[in-house]
């Protein structure tokens, strides 16, 4: 099965988004300008010192000065902000990176944002709908496919089910669901 690399799913219409969410800023920490970041991505190299991130809907660029962990949150210190008052203005803002900052992937690997919006067909070329959401579970991801009537089909993102992904053609082919227990008595 093609491998999917984490990033919080983004909208995907006719083209890929220019900016992708990597986390959300929380309340200021301490008095020296640090602020906790709730991570939506596992690609920590995008949040290393000297990296540029974009904050808020206006995508204002900031350079990361330093980072450190506080439990499951990444404390970040941004260059040019050295006090609690100024960093507090960023509370609850989303943090983005540009698509061009993403590391390249191996053949057959995809980012979530590349999959959202794909047209999904079964192996008999019957249109099932559009991939609208990716649910994370402990076992495997689950793709939420919605058709024009608003009906949903849930497809487990496992090797037996995901037969082909063609990003250029905006198309995914999936296997048939086997419903265990039907007809059993």
Distance CA 133, CA 115 (A): 9
**What does the pLDDT look like over 77-135, one tens digit per residue?**
999 999 999 999 999 999 999 988 888 888 888 888 889 899 999 999 999 999 998 88
pLDDT of residue 11: 38
**What does the pLDDT look like over 12-34, one tens digit per residue?**
344 567 898 899 999 999 999 99
For the chain, the domains span 3-101, 117-174
What is the CATH topology of the domain spanning 117-174?
A: SH3 type barrels. (2.30.30)
Distance CA 41, CA 181 (A): 38
Distance CA 124, CA 168 (A): 20
**What does the pLDDT look like over 45-72, one tens digit per residue?**
899 999 999 999 999 999 999 999 998 8
**Token pair of 55 as six digits:** 């904050």
**What does the pLDDT look like over 152-182, one tens digit per residue?**
989 999 988 999 999 889 999 999 876 544 5
What is the CATH topology of the domain spanning 3-101?
A: Elongation Factor Tu (Ef-tu); domain 3 (2.40.30)
Starting at the edge strand that comes first in sequence, how are the strands of the sheet with 142-146 ordered?
152-156, 142-146, 127-135, 119-122, 171-174, 162-166
């Amino acid at each position: 099965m093609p491998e999917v690399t984490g990033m919080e799913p983004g909208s995907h219409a006719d083209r890929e988004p220019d900016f992708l969410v990597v986390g959300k800023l929380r309340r200021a920490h301490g008095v020296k300008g640090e602020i906790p970041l709730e991570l939506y991505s596992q690609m920590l190299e995008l949040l290393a010192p000297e990296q540029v991130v974009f904050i808020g809907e206006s995508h204002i660029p900031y350079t990361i000065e330093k980072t450190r962990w506080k439990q499951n949150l990444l404390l970040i210190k941004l260059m040019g902000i050295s006090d609690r008052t100024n960093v507090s203005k960023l509370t609850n803002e989303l943090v983005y990176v540009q698509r061009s900052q993403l590391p390249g992937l191996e053949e057959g690997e995809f980012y979530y944002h590349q999959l959202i919006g794909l047209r999904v067909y079964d192996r008999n070329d019957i249109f099932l709908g559009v991939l609208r959401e990716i649910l994370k579970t402990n076992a495997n991801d689950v793709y939420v496919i919605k058709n024009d009537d608003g009906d949903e089909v849930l497809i487990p993102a496992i090797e037996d089910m995901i037969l082909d992904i063609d990003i250029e053609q905006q198309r995914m082919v999936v296997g048939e669901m086997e419903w265990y227990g039907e007809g059993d008595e």
